[in-house]
């Protein structure tokens, strides 16, 4: 009954979105840009016309407080002023030349200083950056296998669409159009399982481990104390390399999670937020890996390396990244985000206790989630077992009707430099009301 009421209220609140959804469905396959705000719990897709700071405005004129922030793409707020200014300036001076710019050189230096790896390259998305770094490492090491953790997500790089089912790697059957067997070269183990990691590496031929330092894409899963220290030692012992995908965990602090926790990755991947929300991504390499990559390129016959695309390094992306790194990702912005995220996590714990729910809250950097289990999951299988998409969608829908947007999958809430204490208060009040309704109806 609560769901039906919320769906009806959404439909009454959003007639202009309904009309656009009907129009879009005539010519857009599925009616929306795929992978974007689909009808996750809503009867039709919400259409927006503007996004600034921590707010989005929908086409029916509602202003929503945004804790989804483009699933991290807008980690530093929508249209941050320095990025908007850099884009406007660059927009009058060209976009794509396939020639180098001063901005590109400046971005390389800013990345090296901030993240501690000496060599960097560009990509158009985190997916591409992951694909390229794995390709570089396979070429540099002469090894074929990729090791990932069960339940991971690193974009749509095919290699990672392999799950652990009853201890065996199984290609995810939702992957469309896959014509060769991914399990041949992808090894999967559970997060936080050092003996399994050791055994998998022992099999040999593992070029690299591709991981998030904290799993964030199946609900959050934290590394157990000491996990990364020991994992790094094992990876090194077996001659493999460690790639940290910090696309989401970059919200931990100015140098990302790995740097803050003393994890020495051989390569880093940073996507989405590094250009302030403009399409671009980067990957970085240690000096040793870079030297081996250069050697591999020199040894290869001339021709396309399979790395890089026409728009990679385009002038708009370079200008946006320079502004983001130099002016937006500032220590003060992080300090604000972290203290607000802690307040949000504390408020959520209070709500969960008050409603006597068997749920827990995990917060890493600016990212906070509540999960439908009383103790935090230790690995991908445990995290998957407690996912409840229907409940997630219901909460998302009910919050939208109350002027607040969170991520519609695994209850993720991100704060940005423009999020205020009042915004957090509004979220907590709205969620309190929604939880009262849900527990009453349950
Ligand atoms: N890596 C991680 C850890 C991600 O969470 C994502 C997307 O959510 C990606 C890579 C892929 O990013 P994109 O979709 O921008 O290619």
Binned at pLDDT 50, 70 and 90, residue 38 comes out as low
Q: What pLDDT does residue 7 have?
A: 96
Ligand 1 centroid, distance to 423 Cα (angstroms): 26
- Is the CB of 380 within 6 Å of ligand 1? no
Task: Evaluate whether 305 touches 132 at the Cβ level (below 8 Å).
Answer: no
CA gap 379, 265 in Å, rounded: 21
pTM of the predicted model over 0.90 = yes
Please report where in the chains the tokens 């390229």 appear, as a residue.
132
pLDDT tens for each residue of 99-108: 999 999 999 9
- Is the CB of 257 within 6 Å of ligand 1? no
Ligand 1 centroid, distance to 334 Cα (angstroms): 21
Secondary structure of 33-102 as H, E, C letters: CCCCCCCCCCCCCCCEEEEEECEEEECCCCEEEECCCHHHCCCCCECCHHHHHHHHHHHCCCCCCCCCCH
Cross-strand pairs, 186: 146
Task: Evaluate whether 379 touches 386 at the Cβ level (below 8 Å).
Answer: no
Ligand 1 atom closest to the Cα of residue 272 is: 15
Ligand 1 centroid, distance to 156 Cα (angstroms): 8
- Is the CB of 155 within 6 Å of ligand 1? yes
Kindly state the percentage of the chain with pLDDT values over 70: 98
Kindly state the percentage of the chain with pLDDT values over 90: 95
- Is the CB of 360 within 6 Å of ligand 1? no
Ligand 1 atom closest to the Cα of residue 129 is: 16
Q: What pLDDT does residue 440 have?
A: 61
Task: Evaluate whether 266 touches 288 at the Cβ level (below 8 Å).
Answer: yes
Q: What pLDDT does residue 290 have?
A: 98
Binned at pLDDT 50, 70 and 90, residue 410 comes out as confident
Q: Does pLDDT of 161 surpass 80?
A: yes
Which residue's alpha carbon is nearest to atom 11 within ligand 1?
A: 155
**Yes or no: is domain 81-328 CATH 3.40.50.10800?**
no
Provide the residue ranges of all domains of the chain, joining segments of one domain with +. Answer: 2-76+330-441, 81-328
**CATH architecture, domain defined by 2-76+330-441:** Alpha-Beta Complex (3.90)
Ligand 1 centroid, distance to 429 Cα (angstroms): 31
Binned at pLDDT 50, 70 and 90, residue 237 comes out as very high
- Is the CB of 154 within 6 Å of ligand 1? yes
Ligand 1 centroid, distance to 2 Cα (angstroms): 33
Binned at pLDDT 50, 70 and 90, residue 426 comes out as very high
């Amino acid at each position: 009954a609560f769901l039906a009421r919320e769906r009806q209220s959404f439909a009454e609140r959003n007639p202009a979105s309904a009309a656009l959804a009907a129009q879009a469905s005539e010519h857009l396959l599925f009616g929306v840009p795929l992978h974007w705000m689909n009808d996750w719990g809503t009867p039709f897709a919400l259409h927006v016309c503007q996004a600034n700071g921590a707010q989005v405005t929908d086409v029916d004129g509602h202003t929503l407080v945004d804790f989804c922030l483009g699933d991290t793409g807008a980690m530093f707020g929508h249209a941050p002023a320095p990025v908007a200014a850099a884009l406007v300036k660059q927009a009058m001076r060209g976009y794509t030349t396939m020639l180098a710019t001063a901005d590109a050189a400046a971005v390389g230096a800013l990345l090296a200083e901030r993240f501690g790896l000496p060599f960097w390259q560009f990509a158009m998305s985190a997916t591409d950056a992951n694909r390229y770094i794995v390709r570089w490492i396979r070429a540099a090491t002469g090894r074929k296998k990729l090791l990932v953790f069960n339940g991971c997500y690193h974009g749509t790089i095919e290699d990672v669409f392999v799950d652990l089912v009853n201890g065996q790697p199984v290609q995810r059957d939702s992957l469309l159009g896959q014509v060769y067997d991914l399990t041949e070269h992808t090894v999967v183990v559970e997060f936080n399982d050092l003996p399994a990691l050791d055994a998998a590496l022992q099999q040999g031929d593992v070029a690299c481990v591709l991981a998030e330092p904290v799993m964030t894409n199946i609900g959050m899963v934290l590394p157990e104390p000491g996990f990364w220290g020991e994992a790094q030692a094992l990876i090194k012992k077996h001659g493999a390399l460690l790639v940290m995908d910090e696309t989401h965990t970059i919200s931990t602090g100015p140098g990302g999670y790995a740097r803050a926790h003393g994890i020495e990755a051989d390569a880093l991947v940073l996507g989405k937020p590094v250009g302030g929300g403009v399409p671009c991504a980067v990957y970085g390499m240690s000096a040793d890996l870079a030297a081996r990559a250069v050697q591999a390129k020199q040894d290869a016959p001339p021709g396309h390396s399979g790395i890089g695309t026409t728009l990679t390094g385009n002038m708009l992306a370079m200008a946006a990244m320079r502004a983001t790194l130099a002016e937006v990702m500032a220590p003060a912005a992080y300090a604000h985000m972290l203290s607000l995220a802690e307040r949000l996590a504390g408020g959520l714990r209070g709500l969960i206790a008050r409603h006597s729910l068997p749920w827990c809250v995990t917060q890493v950097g600016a990212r906070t989630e509540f999960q439908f289990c009383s103790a935090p999951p230790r690995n991908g299988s445990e995290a998957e077992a407690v996912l409840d998409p229907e409940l997630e969608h219901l909460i998302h829908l009910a919050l939208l009707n109350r002027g607040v947007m969170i991520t519609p999958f695994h209850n993720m809430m991100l704060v940005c430099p423009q999020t205020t204490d009042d915004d957090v208060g509004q979220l907590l009040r709205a969620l309190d009301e929604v939880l009262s309704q849900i527990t009453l109806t349950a």
